Amino acid sequence: MGRATVADIKGRDFSELDKEAKANTENTNKGSNTNKNRNTTTSDSRGRKNRRRQKKTMVVHPVQRLFDACKDVFAHAGTGFVPPPDKIEQLSALLDEIRPVDVGLSPRMPFFSPQATRRAPTITYLHIHECEKFSMGIFCLPPSGVLPLHNHPGMTVFSKLLFGTMHIKSYDWVVGAPSASAVAEPSQTAQRSEVRMAKVKVDSNLTAPCKTSILYPADGGNMHCFTAVTACTVLDVLGPPYSDLEGRHCTYYLAYPFTKFSGDEQVSIPDEEKDKYAWLQERDKPEDLVVEGALYTGPVIREN
């Protein structure tokens, strides 16, 4: 955002200088004869035509195309919004084409290096854009970096793994399932909270290049955990983005095996299927989770 603001200011300054230059040129040409004026007019006309041709042939960068599409797809986004199928396909196709170099990234950058520390590895976030309707950003994870289990309330999220291998484990709530009685350790949560039953949606490794993953407000693995098997990076598009004012809080969870609590006796699930279910309990933000912001160095987005 900072770079865009500076660019806008510079753009206005150059615009004013351009106006002054044109005014000076007009004053100088007042004494010119008719033929010179005609030649100038012809030259200006040719120049304008050439500029129009250049604009027509100008290549739009993949990140700009993604931004423009997001403006259209999420124009009316609000809590619980799910784009129509053709718009989902459009965004997915655009994300599938984006490469690390398109966003100014390389696996050799320092925030992808292994970290010799007892704490959880630091994760880096590169902010591209955020407005009321959607956000675009990139998470950069060194080896063993973890984004703990968290939710995306009322949101549709597109995630594109740009390089590396990442383990994803995601869940969706089981509608109508009973709650379980849980007593959590004081170190795990600030207070006792109810435990809800969820079903595992994904539990596997994902290696780039691969297709874009999509989650929805009530399906697709709305609650997920990312673990970096190797250094990796993921481009996220959220529509709409998190907003405390609109009730879209980011909540973290602990996951317990299905057989841990007494609630499993109230649900009839075959033994061979029980590993596909779990009990999730809200928790405080993990103390060892460190996400630092860094400057996005990819192509600047033109918002207008």
Do residues 259 and 182 share a domain? yes
Do residues 112 and 150 share a domain? yes
Radius of gyration of the chain (CA): 26
pLDDT at 256: 94
Do residues 54 and 92 share a domain? no
- In a structure prediction context, what are the per-residue pLDDT tens digits for the chain, which is 304 residues long? 333 322 232 233 322 323 333 333 344 344 444 444 445 455 555 556 555 555 555 689 999 999 999 999 999 999 999 999 999 999 999 999 999 999 999 999 999 999 887 789 999 999 999 999 999 999 999 999 999 999 999 999 999 999 999 999 999 999 888 776 544 444 444 455 788 999 999 999 999 999 999 999 999 999 999 999 999 999 999 999 999 999 999 999 999 998 887 655 667 788 888 899 999 999 999 999 999 999 999 999 999 7
Residue 7 lies in a domain: no
pLDDT at 92: 98
CATH code of residue 185: 2.60.120.10
Residue 249 contacts by C-beta under 8 Å, 6 or more apart in sequence? Answer: 153, 242
Q: Which of 209, 2, 205 is CA-nearest to residue 100?
A: 209
Alpha helices in the chain (DSSP H): 2-28, 34-57, 62-73, 85-97
Do residues 52 and 163 share a domain? no
First to last CA, the chain: 14
Question: How many structural domains compose the chain?
Answer: 2
Do residues 119 and 44 share a domain? no
Do residues 147 and 45 share a domain? no
> Which is it for the CA torsion 55, 59, 61, 66, positive or negative?
positive
Do residues 114 and 171 share a domain? yes
Q: Domain containing 118: what range?
A: 62-294
Which of 11, 40, 58 is the C-terminal boundary of a domain? 58
Do residues 108 and 201 share a domain? yes
Q: Which of 107, 65, 235 is CA-nearest to residue 160?
A: 235
Helix (H, G, I), strand (E, B) or coil at 91: helix
pLDDT at 42: 52
How crowded is the C-beta side of 276, counted as CA atoms within 13 Å? Answer: 8
| Residue whose structure tokens are 């027509």 | 56
